[in-house]
Structure 1
Amino acid sequence: MTDTPNPRFYDYVTPITVSENDSYDFKATGPKRRAAVYDQQGRLLGDVWTDDRQAAGFTLVDDPEPDMGYVAGRMDRILTDAYKAGIPASKVLDPALYAPDFELRITS
C-alpha cells in the first residue's frame, strides 16, 4: 500500500486558462439601435442590438416558450461568426446575416 492520497482529495486546484470570447463587446458606449428577431412562424424571439461602435448582442424575450431555448445560442453563433469575419458592429442589423432562419425588423 502506498501513502499517495487519491488525487480527488488534494488541497489544491489546477488553474486553467480560459480565453476571451471572440465577439463584440456586451457593454454599449452609446445609444443602441435594435432589430426585432422573428422565427419562421412569425413569433417574436427577442432583439439584436448594436451601439454602432464595438458592442452588439441579442436579448431573448422575457418569457420564452420552451421550444425557443436554441435561439440565444444560435444568435451568439451568428454574432461571433460576423465578428470573426470582420463585420463591424454597425452592420449587425443586416437581415441577410440571420436569413433564412430568422427575420429582422428594425425597431430603433
Structure 2
Amino acid sequence: MNKVSLTALAREQLETARAASSGRSSHTVYGGHEHSLRQTLIALKAGSALDDHESPGEATLYVLQGRVRVTDADAGWEGSPGDHIVIPLSRHGLQALEDSVVLLTVVKRVGPHV
C-alpha cells in the first residue's frame, strides 16, 4: 500500500510551477508506462496553459485548487475545486484561470498490442 498527501504534493508542485518559466509543474502520483491507470498531479500558475494536444484516451480531470478551463474545438468547460471533468476524446487544451492544481487520471492500454 502507498499513501500520498495530495494536499502537500499540490502545495509543493504549485511552488515549483510559480518558479518555472513555463508556469507549470507535474508529478506522477500513480502509474507509468507499465500501468494502465495513470494519475498525474499538474500545477499551473495563473495564465499558463497546456496547449491543444491529442486526447490520451479515457481521461478525467479533478480540480483540487484554483480555476481551470478545458477547451476543444466545439466547447469549453470551467472547473473549480471539487469539480470532476471528463476530458473530451478530441484535441483539447487546459488553461489556468487562477493558480491551479488538478489531478489527471488516464486509462491507457499496455502491453504488446499498443
Q: Which is strand-richer, 1 or 2?
A: 2
Give me the TM-score of the superposition, normalised by structure 1.
Answer: 0.24
Greater Rg by CA: 1
Give me the TM-score of the superposition, normalised by structure 2.
Answer: 0.24
Q: Which is helix-richer, 1 or 2?
A: 1
